[in-house]
Amino acid sequence: MASPTLSDAGRVPPATRIALLVALAIAFVLCTTWLDGGADILPATLWRHPDWVAWWSAPLRMLCNAFPGLLLAFALFAWTRRALWSFALAFGVQALIYGANALKVKNLAIPLMPADFRMLGQLNHGGAELLSGYLPHVALLIVALLVAIALLGVWLRIEPPLLARRPRRGRSVASIVLFAALITLIAGVPFWRGVYNPKLLGMQPWSPLATRQHDGLIGSLLLFHLQYGAQHRKANVPAALALMAHYEPEISTQDRAPAGTDAQKPDIVVVLSESFFDPTIMNGYPPGTDLTPNLHRLEQHGTSGWLHVPTFGGGTIRTEFEVLTGLSLRYFPEVQFPYLQIHRKKIPGIVRLLAGDGYTTLAVHGNNPGFWNRTAAFKELGFDKFISIADFPKRDAVDDGKYMSDKSFTDELLRQLPDSGPPRFVLGISIEAHGPYDASSGIDTQVRDAIPVPSGVTDPQAKLELQNYIYHMQHADQQLGRLVDTLAQRKRRTLVLFFGDHLPALVPAYLQAGFRNGQGFLTQTVPYILIDTAHMDHASRQNAAAWELPGILLQQAGIGNDPWFTLTRLVGPQLAALTRAPDAPIAAENPEQKLLDEGMRNIADLRLKDKLYKLWPKAAAMAEKSGAPTAAINAPTHAMR
């Protein structure tokens, strides 16, 4: 069909064109507000708001929430001259963002954040396969998307243009300017901070959910992106030195005796168990219910406790990064996904420390090596080798459910631990218990259906997902027992550190049952256990944060000559409970904690930039000059559950 001619567009009076565009813009803002559903930007807020709220506040927030879509719509209109098509396409792009947000809220109960868009770069590294598990009716969605694209193509051909073809230069300039404005807004050019300003729009930086309700999804994304997306904090070196000097006497008294020859040094195995937690911390389980018998058995032979982790329901690499570096991500609020946002030739951490002490360092993960950018990140962290799914023997790369079984994963761990040769540090990252949990493929349904759930979980779907999760989680518990029992039979001493990275995303079950400690799901902890096969005759309890674990591990291994990890172990009991998921309520701090916390924030910044070690001699000199006594580390271990 031929496109309408110049005379077709010319028949529309200029006033009518302007009125149509204004009407489309107003409709776009109102429809975006309806799609958003944020309580503080609904149309009713235009005439129903507290007296202390300015009359223009709600319409401004509504406009700012729809503004990127309006820029796209007008840019497309200037380019194509088709008004309805341009606004419809812009609204469709917005709808995709809102759909992604709904998917995240459904599974994690938290809204989209700017860093989530970094996941787009992971789609070709296993991310698409993982995401497809959470999308309902993937084939239908793909068909619907293709149909929508075809319809848009037809629509573009048949809609008559609202503007004349010429003069073309003015439309081209307008289109370029509008697209440029949109690009600079998305890129976070500082100019836009004057528009997306917390004082102007209102913002609760500690609560993305509250900000999303107040400013809309798009508005909140831009507020967080512009106000917190490019923070470059400069460390307060004098404050860092003061804290280092305060703890230097205690650090200097730590056992710095070497672990001995290579044959005497222990192998070290760190197992990050996907979504591992003890479901009996939920209300509604009868006393004596034991869903993790191997964990509880081994707790009688090592150090164990509750672990505060920096994420919930996903974001494994946040916990992983803290354990490998000793750096708390609380001190880097702009970093949501460390392997995607922190890029250095050498990232300091336990891997490089052990490599310098003669260890061979390996990572084992039964999934795509590129996902979460691990291939590059593990090189920066100093791993000698990364064994991923393609490196597993084909006869022993068996899935259990959607992902590689914990049995195959444990088989590979054991293959990487010979009885002779240099000592080994092996990081294992399991994946069997990864969500989503609504699929029952490969599951023994008779075993699954016999798994008990809390009495408060009455919704059939919530019950099914919890049982599916526990089915796979119990395989992790079984393999923990097998791993430790096997390594305990070796002549070579081995340290085994096992922990969960976060709670699984089972929000409906959590909301129905609740937790025994009365807190919400974003502040719950996961179990950890440290076993030394040469010393299995005693047990101890110690709660910790993920970033404390490398210091605790090195002390048990007899490698105590690193002041950074010693410091994290010394301050950990006072600060560990502050570690929470990014969207959790902020933990209260007393004045002493605030002072210590701020000092560690400065030290952590220097550590990441590899500027810390050259300051230790100065800190030691300051401590000696002041005649400071050994620092008193008498804060009680944070309360047991």
Question: What are the pLDDT digits (tens) for 366-417?
Answer: 998 888 889 989 999 999 999 999 999 999 999 999 999 999 999 999 999 9
pLDDT for the residue numbered 529: 99
Among 241, 205, 244, 249, which Cα is nearest to 223's?
205
pLDDT for the residue numbered 232: 59
CA distances from 589 to 165, 522, 574 (A): 64, 18, 10
Fold for domain 266-588?
A: Alkaline Phosphatase, subunit A (3.40.720)
Which structure tokens are listed for 241? 């030195």
pLDDT for the residue numbered 7: 44
Evaluate whether 102 touches 111 at the Cβ level (below 8 Å).
no
pLDDT for the residue numbered 214: 86
Question: What are the pLDDT digits (tens) for 210-249?
Answer: 888 889 999 999 998 888 766 557 899 999 999 999 999 9
pLDDT for the residue numbered 626: 80
50 Cβ partners below 8 Å, 6+ apart?
A: none
Percentage of the chain exceeding pLDDT 70: 89
Q: Give the CA angle between residues 296, 302, 304 to the nearest 5°.
A: 60
pLDDT for the residue numbered 641: 37
Evaluate whether 188 touches 180 at the Cβ level (below 8 Å).
no
Q: CATH 3.40.720.10 spans which residues of the chain? A: 266-588
Q: For residue 357, how many other CB atoms are within 10 A of its CB? A: 18
- The overall pTM is greater than 0.85: no
pLDDT for the residue numbered 253: 82
Among 558, 545, 517, which Cα is nearest to 641's?
517
pLDDT for the residue numbered 334: 82
Side-chain-side CA neighbours of residue 464 (13 Å)? 11
Mean pLDDT of each 10-residue bin along the chain, 641 residues long: 48 84 95 88 71 77 95 95 95 93 81 80 63 67 86 92 81 94 93 90 77 90 82 83 93 65 85 98 97 98 98 95 98 88 90 96 94 90 96 94 96 96 97 93 94 96 98 98 98 97 96 97 98 96 98 91 93 96 89 95 94 92 74 36 37
Evaluate whether 631 touches 250 at the Cβ level (below 8 Å).
yes
pLDDT for the residue numbered 3: 47
pLDDT for the residue numbered 2: 44
- Determine the Cα–Cα distance for residues 259 and 353; give it in Å rounded to an integer: 14
Backbone φ and ψ for 429, nearest 5 degrees, come out as: -120, 110
Evaluate whether 358 touches 322 at the Cβ level (below 8 Å).
no
pLDDT for the residue numbered 91: 96
- Determine the Cα–Cα distance for residues 106 and 101; give it in Å rounded to an integer: 8
Evaluate whether 620 touches 559 at the Cβ level (below 8 Å).
no
pLDDT for the residue numbered 120: 74
